[in-house]
A = this chain, B = another copy of it.
Amino acid sequence: MTTTEHLLQTLQTEIDQTSYGESPAELYEPIRYIMALGGKRFRPLLTLLAASLHTDDWKKALKPAIAVEVFHNFTLMHDDIMDRAPLRRGKPTVHEKWNANTAILSGDVMLIRAYDFLIDTKKEDLKLVLSRFNQTAAEVCEGQQLDMNFETRWNVTEEEYLDMIRLKTSVLLGFALELGGIIGGASPEATRLLYEAGESMGIGFQLKDDLLDVYGDPAKFGKQVGGDIIANKKTFLLIEALAKAEGDTASELNRWLSAENFDKEEKVTAVRGIYDTLDIRSLTEHKINDYFTKGISCLERLPVEEGRKKPLLEFVHQLVQREQ
């Protein structure tokens, strides 16, 4: 078993054994439900990998790692209400299986429990950990608000979009790594590099999600290819296309965006064709590569002996290469 597999297994066991509360059952059952839906657990794994860069006693980062995973699942529970999402990881969302009130209140308790998993941090680090967590958590909410604002706007710029995904998804990856660093005893310089690595790669991952939705291999991609195109979702690709398209291409793109009755496959093929014409694929791939390169370079600059970095770097390269 590799180091990473061992960390992941320990983490999963810890998650399975975690109790969030018992009574009233209506409040705690949805927490157990969403936490048991699975997911790749790669945020808490990053925390453990970052801690193990600096200490062999990475187990002291287990509870903080779970704080990150519980917080992440809290945001999913509340975002799913706001986005009226029926499914999460192929199962009914909490507000569908129970109701919106339950999803609001169980989510609130999850946010509180996330703090519970942080407070065993040693006295010297507790204030720093909490203040960084608070900032990250508020930024994630800001990102979600911006994402909702963008739904009704057609003039979202590339810069605005990148800032939204930075807030909504990347700062938590940055914090996950930074937290592992702090718990592991890393220097302020090292924790800064860890944060920057996570933030940069997080933007890359989200852009890759946007790309795979359009150009992913249907056999490997977990979701329906073209889902974002069908839903007119303002992804990086659409924002770039809207900015670059002129003349007939612009008219055709706008026609598809305002079409109310359409054949889904036809729309996906047509919009993908427009993206091809505008060379959006390679533009996006370059952008993703820039963010990944920047993130990995932060990790390479970490003042830690090379051997210790291997599990984290290998894991990150695996994430970078994923096609689903």
Chain B proximity mask over A77-110: 1 for CB below 8 Å, otherwise 0: 0100110000000000000000011001101110
For A, the interface residue count at a CB cutoff of 8 angstroms equals 37
Question: In the assembled complex, which residues on chain B have CB atoms less than 8 Å from the CB atom of A82?
Answer: 101, 104-105
Question: In the assembled complex, which residues on chain B have CB atoms less than 8 Å from the CB atom of A182?
Answer: none
Question: In the assembled complex, which residues on chain B have CB atoms less than 8 Å from the CB atom of A137?
Answer: 112
Give residues 1-57 of A contacting B (CB, 8 Å).
21, 23-24, 26-27
From residue A150, how far is it (CB to closest CB) to chain B in Å? Answer: 10
- If the complex has contacts A78-B104, A108-B78, are A119 and B134 also in contact, measured as CB distance less than 8 A? yes
Instruction: Answer yes or no: A304 CB below 8 A from chain B CBs.
Output: no
Give the complex CA separation of A130 and B134 in angstroms.
Answer: 13
Give the complex CA separation of A21 and B104 in angstroms.
Answer: 22
Contact A26 B134 (CB under 8 A): no
Contact A115 B141 (CB under 8 A): no
Contact A149 B109 (CB under 8 A): no
* A-B residue pairs in contact (CB < 8 Å), sample of 6: A24-B149, A27-B145, A81-B101, A107-B108, A111-B111, A123-B127
> Which 3 A-B residue pairings sit nearest by Cβ, starting from the closest?
A27-B145, A82-B101, A112-B137
Q: Which residues of A contact B (CB under 8 A)?
A: 21, 23-24, 26-27, 78, 81-82, 100-101, 104-105, 107-109, 111-113, 115-116, 119, 123-124, 126-127, 130-131, 134, 137-138, 141-142, 144-146, 148-149
Given pairs A82-B101, A105-B141, 4 additional interface contacts (CB within 8 A):
A78-B104, A82-B105, A112-B137, A119-B134
